[in-house]
Amino acid sequence: MIGGGLAGCEAAFKAAEADTRVTLVEMKPHQFSPAHHSPLLAELVCSNSFRAGNVENAVGLLKEEMRRLSSIIMAVAVETAVPAGRSLAVDREKFATEVTDRISGHKNIRIIHKEVRHLPQEGTTVLATGPLTSDALAEDMEGLLGEEHLHFYDAIAPLVTLESIDFSRAFYASRYEPEEGDYINCPMTREEYEVFFQALTTAQQVPLKPFETPKFFEGCLPVEVMAERGFQTLLFGPMKPVGLIDPTTGQRPFAVVQLRKDNTEGTIYNMVGFQTKLAYEEQERVFRLIPGLRQAEFVRLGSIHRNTFINGPRVLTPYVQFARAEHVFVAGQISGVEGYVESAAMGLLCGINAARLAHGQALAAPPRTTALGSLVAHITASASRDFQPMNVNFGLFPPLEGRVAKKERGAAYARRALADLDKWITEVIMG
Ligand SMILES: Cc1cc2nc3c(=O)[nH]c(=O)nc-3n(C[C@H](O)[C@H](O)[C@H](O)COP(=O)(O)OP(=O)(O)OC[C@H]3O[C@@H](n4cnc5c(N)ncnc54)[C@H](O)[C@@H]3O)c2cc1C
């Protein structure tokens, strides 16, 4: 196991519990990433929250699935919890200390403190070096994957649910091909664009951290940076209206925001070219000024931050191994998920499969209907052309059968997921 963060600890503990001898290699305390400061394992680099607790919420459901799979991170989080309403938050020092003690005290785990600079050529390996993987190892991975499949920054545009788009103000069409429905277009009049432009150029941005000095590529500029260049810039960039006719007016709109399918099911759409560093609440305020998105439900807001991650759908097998090096499983944030819980969840799965590989058993893939299975589908089979890391959300799940009222959906997803997970645990994991 390379990396002793949330994913690496989860993977190490899971594999060790399955009677596998594990060596966990962690570069701290000899070397720290710019965001890590504690010598302990499982350090929480920022917030102390593991987010919502109830299973009607996708992250709450993921946590319940992890509990049923005997996650060490979930067990210790509950033991070291601090009051946080409906969320699960922890005393970060107690949490990291307890995880460190359990890992270092495990009879099957040996810990080595050093930087791994090259991927091992053989031996079952779990790569869990996180969003701030050391430079030497990242360079080595570039050699294996090709530089186009390893990213160092998120440049994320917001995602909205299909059902929250107002089709009285939006229409399907591809540029110059009105009969093609690949894009959803949100047209704007000049007056609407002026209001939007004013809001966008005066909205509050998130300041960069000292170690985050992204060189924005011209093709990937934050939308607000483009807008600052002048009133016309967006009209010749992501908001250009050429080749589009609004069927309601029969005219070419003054400006257009285009949305493109972001998952195979077509339940989530991304705002094309709208990568942004605006503060989250500002994004919701400003982007809801777009007619067609006034009631938008954002399943992910935009961001640009330092984050090493792989282009999973191009380089991973369905069991989250490198296709070019199947002895290496990839866990945690570097695999293309986002967030503490999601990172640990991928560690759990990789720990299960690393042990199975070591014991000569068939690898296991969680049911597609579970939160874990939906994350795996995102990182190994996402249809998005511009793959970006993602928090777990119900938009990643296969749609429910039949019509289910909106307020019942979370519970319905959870019922289906937990029933399928229990069956999988009995038949595959324990079987
Ligand atoms: C600045 C920042 C703030 C974040 N804040 C949040 C937040 O508030 N909430 C949230 O849910 N998510 C947050 N995230 C996203 C993500 O959930 C966390 O980064 C999470 O810790 C990822 O878990 P991980 O196990 O994949 O990586 P990490 O927890 O980062 O663990 C990776 C470990 O690998 C070690 N390592 C790196 N390279 C090597 C090497 N070559 N050899 C040996 N060891 C190595 C590191 O020292 C580290 O201990 C944040 C990310 C960043 C960068």
* Stated pTM of the model: 0.81
Given its phi and psi angles, is residue 3 left (phi above 0), alpha (psi -120 to 50 degrees) or beta?
left
Beta carbons of 416 and 64 less than 8 angstroms apart: no
What is the structure's pLDDT at 210?
59
| Domain count within the chain | 2
Q: At which residue do the structure tokens 């959803």 appear?
A: 184
- The confidence band for 211, taking pLDDT boundaries of 50, 70 and 90, is low
Which range of 171-180, 210-219, 358-367 scores highest in mean pLDDT? It is 358-367
For the segment 71-127, what is each residue's pLDDT rounded down to a tens digit? 999 999 999 998 887 888 899 999 999 999 999 999 999 999 999 999 999 999 999
Mean pLDDT of 333-348: 97
Are 109 and 20 part of one and the same domain? Answer: yes
pLDDT in tens, 365-389: 999 999 999 999 999 999 877 788 8
Q: Which domain holds residue 241?
A: 159-301
Q: Is residue 396 part of a domain?
A: yes
Q: Is 348 inside a domain boundary?
A: yes
Examine the fold and report which residue of 285, 301, 317 is the final residue of a domain before the chain moves on.
301
CATH of the domain at 131: 3.50.50.60
Question: Mean pLDDT across the stretch 262-279?
Answer: 88
Nearest-atom number in ligand 1 for the CA of 41 is 49
Q: What is the pLDDT of residues 19-44, one digit of tens each?
A: 999 999 999 999 999 889 999 999 99
Higher pLDDT, 210 or 275: 275
DSSP string, 265-324: TS-EEEETT----B-HHHHHHHHTTSTT-TT--EEE--EEEEEEEE-HHHHB-TTSEETT
Residue 1, in any domain of the structure: no
Q: How far is Cα 378 from Cα 396, in angstroms, rounded to an integer?
A: 7
pLDDT at 310 (0 to 100)? 95
Asked if residues 5 and 343 have their Cβ atoms less than 8 Å apart, the reply is: yes
CA atoms within 13 Å, Cβ hemisphere of 274: 25
181 and 114 co-located in one domain: no
Within-domain flag for 412:
yes
Same domain, yes or no: 144 and 73: yes
Choose which residue among 73, 88, 129, 391 to substitute to test ligand 1 binding: the one with the highest number of ligand atoms within 8 A of its C-beta: 129
Residue 214, pLDDT > 80, answer no
The answer to whether position 422 is within a domain reads yes
Q: Max CA-CA distance within the chain?
A: 72
The DSSP element (H or E) to which 380 belongs, if any, is: helix 371-381
| Tokens representing residue 372 in the block | 């874990």
**Centre of ligand 1 from the C-alpha of residue 25, in Å:** 15
394 and 372 co-located in one domain? yes
* Same domain as 418, residue 314: yes
Is 421 a member of any domain? yes
- CB 370 within 8 Å of CB 250: no
Residues 296-325: what's their mean pLDDT? 92
What is residue 233's predicted lDDT score, i.e. its pLDDT? 96
Q: Please tell me whether residues 114 and 226 are part of one structural domain.
A: no
Percent of the chain exceeding pLDDT 70 equals 97
137/23 same-domain check: yes
> Three-state SS for 186?
strand
Q: Which residues contact 318 (CB under 8 A, 6 or more apart)?
A: 365, 376, 380, 381
Do 73 and 134 lie in a common domain?
yes
Using a 6 Å CB cutoff, which residues line ligand 1? 2-8, 25-28, 33, 35-36, 45-47, 115-116, 128-134, 137, 332-334, 339-340, 343
88 assigned to some structural domain: yes
Tokens describing residue 169: 């103000």
Predicted confidence at residue 220, as pLDDT, reads 65
Q: Among the listed ranges 183-197, 202-216, 401-415, which one has the minimum average pLDDT value?
A: 202-216
Going by alpha carbons, the residue nearest to atom 15 of ligand 1 is 339
Last residue of a domain, one of 244, 272, 301: 301
Which of 85-89, 202-206, 419-423, 426-430 has the least mean pLDDT?
A: 85-89
- Where is the domain boundary, 251, 267, 301? 301
- What is d(CA 422, CA 431) in angstroms, rounded to the nearest whole number? 12
Domain check: are 81 and 178 in the same one? no
Q: Does the pLDDT of residue 162 top 80, yes or no?
A: yes
Amino acid at 59: V
Q: Which two tokens stand for residue 385?
A: 């052309």
Looking up residue 219, the CATH number of its domain turns out to be 2.40.30
Contacts for 184 with CB less than 8 Å, ≥ 6 apart: 162, 165, 170, 171, 172, 258, 259, 260, 269, 292
In a domain, 328, yes or no: yes
* 231 and 328 housed in the same domain: no
Q: 58 and 115 share a domain? A: yes
Q: Is there a single domain that holds both residue 145 and residue 217?
A: no
Bigger pLDDT: 138 or 182? Answer: 138
- Cis before residue 29, ω within 30 degrees of 0? yes
